[in-house]
Amino acid sequence: MNRRFAAALLISATALSISAAAATAQQSDDMSKMPGMHMDAGKAPAGSATAKLGDLDISGGYVRAMLPGQPVGGGYITIYNGGSSDDKLTSVSSSAAGKVELHEMKMQGEVMKMREIKEGIAIPAGATVTLSPNSLHMMFKQVKTPFKQGGTVPVMLMFDKAGMVDINLPVVAPNAK
Ligand SMILES: [Cu+2]
Protein backbone atom coordinates (compact mmCIF):
# COMPACT_ATOMS: atom_id res chain seq x y z
CA MET A 1 0.00 0.00 0.00
CA ASN A 2 2.69 2.46 1.01
CA ARG A 3 4.88 1.42 -1.87
CA ARG A 4 2.05 1.83 -4.35
CA PHE A 5 1.32 5.27 -2.96
CA ALA A 6 4.97 6.27 -3.23
CA ALA A 7 5.11 5.02 -6.82
CA ALA A 8 1.97 6.98 -7.70
CA LEU A 9 3.48 10.14 -6.18
CA LEU A 10 6.66 9.68 -8.15
CA ILE A 11 4.71 9.27 -11.39
CA SER A 12 2.59 12.34 -10.74
CA ALA A 13 5.68 14.40 -9.90
CA THR A 14 7.26 13.36 -13.21
CA ALA A 15 4.06 14.15 -15.11
CA LEU A 16 3.94 17.56 -13.43
CA SER A 17 7.45 18.52 -14.49
CA ILE A 18 6.82 17.35 -18.05
CA SER A 19 3.60 19.33 -18.35
CA ALA A 20 5.30 22.40 -16.84
CA ALA A 21 8.06 22.17 -19.45
CA ALA A 22 5.48 21.79 -22.22
CA ALA A 23 3.51 24.77 -20.91
CA THR A 24 6.65 26.91 -20.86
CA ALA A 25 7.54 25.96 -24.42
CA GLN A 26 4.00 26.83 -25.47
CA GLN A 27 4.11 30.13 -23.60
CA SER A 28 7.40 31.37 -25.07
CA ASP A 29 6.17 30.38 -28.52
CA ASP A 30 3.00 32.43 -28.07
CA MET A 31 4.91 35.39 -26.65
CA SER A 32 7.31 35.56 -29.57
CA LYS A 33 4.29 36.07 -31.86
CA MET A 34 2.99 38.99 -29.84
CA PRO A 35 3.85 42.34 -31.35
CA GLY A 36 5.92 44.57 -29.08
CA MET A 37 7.18 41.69 -26.90
CA HIS A 38 10.91 41.54 -26.84
CA MET A 39 12.83 38.30 -26.95
CA ASP A 40 14.20 38.81 -23.45
CA ALA A 41 10.75 39.48 -22.03
CA GLY A 42 9.61 36.07 -23.27
CA LYS A 43 11.98 34.42 -20.80
CA ALA A 44 10.24 35.62 -17.63
CA PRO A 45 6.59 35.30 -16.57
CA ALA A 46 4.22 38.16 -17.40
CA GLY A 47 4.20 40.92 -14.79
CA SER A 48 7.79 40.35 -13.71
CA ALA A 49 9.53 43.24 -11.99
CA THR A 50 11.82 45.82 -13.58
CA ALA A 51 14.11 48.56 -12.23
CA LYS A 52 16.79 50.94 -13.45
CA LEU A 53 19.91 51.65 -11.42
CA GLY A 54 22.64 53.76 -13.03
CA ASP A 55 23.88 51.80 -16.04
CA LEU A 56 21.99 48.69 -14.99
CA ASP A 57 18.67 47.66 -16.50
CA ILE A 58 16.96 45.13 -14.31
CA SER A 59 14.05 43.13 -15.68
CA GLY A 60 12.25 39.82 -15.51
CA GLY A 61 12.31 39.67 -11.71
CA TYR A 62 10.08 37.10 -9.98
CA VAL A 63 10.00 34.45 -7.28
CA ARG A 64 8.25 31.12 -7.44
CA ALA A 65 5.45 30.26 -5.04
CA MET A 66 6.60 27.75 -2.42
CA LEU A 67 5.04 24.29 -2.24
CA PRO A 68 3.81 23.05 1.16
CA GLY A 69 6.80 21.95 3.24
CA GLN A 70 9.31 23.53 0.87
CA PRO A 71 12.03 25.01 3.10
CA VAL A 72 13.53 27.56 0.70
CA GLY A 73 12.32 29.86 -2.07
CA GLY A 74 13.86 30.62 -5.47
CA GLY A 75 14.09 34.04 -7.12
CA TYR A 76 15.13 35.02 -10.66
CA ILE A 77 16.06 38.23 -12.45
CA THR A 78 17.86 39.59 -15.51
CA ILE A 79 20.50 42.33 -15.28
CA TYR A 80 21.89 44.20 -18.28
CA ASN A 81 24.96 46.38 -17.80
CA GLY A 82 24.75 49.16 -20.40
CA GLY A 83 27.79 50.97 -18.99
CA SER A 84 31.47 50.77 -19.85
CA SER A 85 32.68 49.34 -16.54
CA ASP A 86 32.15 45.91 -15.05
CA ASP A 87 29.91 45.59 -12.04
CA LYS A 88 29.02 42.81 -9.66
CA LEU A 89 25.88 41.71 -7.82
CA THR A 90 27.45 41.33 -4.40
CA SER A 91 24.46 40.45 -2.23
CA VAL A 92 20.69 40.39 -1.90
CA SER A 93 18.56 40.89 1.20
CA SER A 94 14.82 40.69 1.85
CA SER A 95 12.52 41.49 4.75
CA ALA A 96 10.63 38.28 3.82
CA ALA A 97 13.56 35.98 4.57
CA GLY A 98 16.25 35.61 7.23
CA LYS A 99 18.82 35.56 4.46
CA VAL A 100 19.12 35.46 0.70
CA GLU A 101 22.03 33.62 -0.88
CA LEU A 102 23.27 33.72 -4.46
CA HIS A 103 23.40 30.17 -5.83
CA GLU A 104 24.39 28.34 -8.94
CA MET A 105 23.03 25.04 -10.26
CA LYS A 106 25.21 22.91 -12.48
CA MET A 107 24.87 19.46 -13.95
CA GLN A 108 27.58 17.12 -12.72
CA GLY A 109 27.06 14.09 -14.90
CA GLU A 110 23.42 13.16 -14.32
CA VAL A 111 23.09 15.06 -11.05
CA MET A 112 22.11 18.71 -10.59
CA LYS A 113 24.32 20.27 -7.92
CA MET A 114 23.82 23.58 -6.18
CA ARG A 115 26.47 25.78 -4.63
CA GLU A 116 26.53 29.16 -2.95
CA ILE A 117 28.42 31.89 -4.81
CA LYS A 118 29.97 33.86 -1.97
CA GLU A 119 32.09 36.03 -4.25
CA GLY A 120 29.04 37.58 -5.96
CA ILE A 121 27.91 37.43 -9.59
CA ALA A 122 29.92 39.45 -12.14
CA ILE A 123 27.88 41.73 -14.42
CA PRO A 124 30.46 42.63 -17.12
CA ALA A 125 30.14 45.86 -19.14
CA GLY A 126 27.78 45.32 -22.07
CA ALA A 127 26.64 41.92 -20.80
CA THR A 128 23.26 40.54 -19.80
CA VAL A 129 23.29 38.13 -16.89
CA THR A 130 20.17 36.09 -16.24
CA LEU A 131 19.32 34.36 -13.00
CA SER A 132 16.89 31.63 -14.04
CA PRO A 133 15.61 28.22 -12.90
CA ASN A 134 18.33 25.53 -13.17
CA SER A 135 21.12 28.09 -13.31
CA LEU A 136 22.06 31.13 -11.24
CA HIS A 137 19.39 32.08 -8.70
CA MET A 138 18.55 33.83 -5.46
CA MET A 139 17.83 31.35 -2.66
CA PHE A 140 15.60 32.64 0.13
CA LYS A 141 16.29 30.94 3.46
CA GLN A 142 14.49 31.23 6.81
CA VAL A 143 11.40 32.41 4.91
CA LYS A 144 8.94 34.00 7.33
CA THR A 145 5.72 33.24 5.42
CA PRO A 146 5.88 30.80 2.46
CA PHE A 147 5.68 32.74 -0.82
CA LYS A 148 2.15 32.59 -2.16
CA GLN A 149 1.19 33.08 -5.80
CA GLY A 150 -0.18 36.57 -6.38
CA GLY A 151 1.88 38.14 -3.58
CA THR A 152 5.14 40.07 -3.79
CA VAL A 153 8.53 39.65 -2.15
CA PRO A 154 10.59 42.80 -1.54
CA VAL A 155 14.31 42.47 -2.20
CA MET A 156 17.26 44.81 -2.09
CA LEU A 157 19.95 44.11 -4.66
CA MET A 158 23.43 45.36 -3.83
CA PHE A 159 25.96 46.04 -6.56
CA ASP A 160 29.65 46.78 -6.21
CA LYS A 161 29.55 49.98 -8.30
CA ALA A 162 25.93 50.90 -9.01
CA GLY A 163 24.89 50.74 -5.34
CA MET A 164 21.60 49.31 -4.17
CA VAL A 165 18.06 49.14 -5.44
CA ASP A 166 14.78 47.99 -3.91
CA ILE A 167 12.51 45.90 -6.10
CA ASN A 168 9.27 44.03 -5.42
CA LEU A 169 9.27 40.62 -7.05
CA PRO A 170 5.88 39.12 -7.95
CA VAL A 171 5.21 35.57 -6.74
CA VAL A 172 4.30 33.34 -9.67
CA ALA A 173 3.30 29.65 -10.03
CA PRO A 174 5.71 27.15 -8.40
CA ASN A 175 6.85 25.80 -11.77
CA ALA A 176 6.94 29.07 -13.72
CA LYS A 177 10.06 29.82 -15.74
CU1 LIG B 1 19.80 27.41 -4.43
Residues spanned by the domain of 63:
43-172
Per the DSSP assignment, residues forming a β-bridge with 135 are: none
Give Cα 57 to chain centroid, integer Å. Answer: 16
Evaluate whether 135 touches 104 at the Cβ level (below 8 Å): yes
Establish if 177 belongs to a structural domain: no
Q: Which residues of the chain have pLDDT under 50?
A: 1-2, 4-42
Report the SS3 class of residue 96: coil
> How far is the centre of ligand 1, averaged over its atoms, from the C-alpha of 115 (Å)?
7
CATH of the domain at 121: 2.60.40.1890
> How far is the centre of ligand 1, averaged over its atoms, from the C-alpha of 3 (Å)?
30
Q: Is 147 found in the same domain as 101? A: yes
Q: Is 16 found in the same domain as 52? A: no
User: Which stretches of the chain are assigned E, i.e. beta strand?
Assistant: 49-53, 56-64, 73-81, 87-93, 97-108, 111-116, 121-123, 128-131, 136-143, 152-159, 163-172
Q: Is 143 found in the same domain as 62? A: yes
Q: So what's the pLDDT on residue 161?
A: 97
The set of residues, in sequence order, having a beta carbon less than 8 Å from that of 105 and lying 6+ positions away, is 112, 113, 114, 134, 135, 136, 137
Report the SS3 class of residue 19: helix
Q: So what's the pLDDT on residue 43?
A: 66
Q: Is 127 found in the same domain as 79? A: yes
> How far is the centre of ligand 1, averaged over its atoms, from the C-alpha of 2 (Å)?
31
> How far is the centre of ligand 1, averaged over its atoms, from the C-alpha of 86 (Å)?
25
Q: How many Å apart are CA 41 and CA 48, to the nearest integer? A: 9
Q: Is 50 found in the same domain as 30? A: no
β-pairing verdict for 163-172 and 56-64: parallel
Q: So what's the pLDDT on residue 154?
A: 98
Q: Is 55 found in the same domain as 6? A: no
**Helix and strand counts by DSSP (H, E) for the chain:** 1, 11
> How far is the centre of ligand 1, averaged over its atoms, from the C-alpha of 103 (Å)?
5
Q: Is 33 found in the same domain as 50? A: no
Report the SS3 class of residue 138: strand
Q: So what's the pLDDT on residue 176?
A: 81
**Total of domains in the chain:** 2
Evaluate whether 139 touches 30 at the Cβ level (below 8 Å): no
Q: Is 81 found in the same domain as 14? A: no
Q: Is 101 found in the same domain as 140? A: yes
Q: So what's the pLDDT on residue 139?
A: 98
Q: So what's the pLDDT on residue 72?
A: 96
> How far is the centre of ligand 1, averaged over its atoms, from the C-alpha of 137 (Å)?
6
Q: Is 48 found in the same domain as 15? A: no
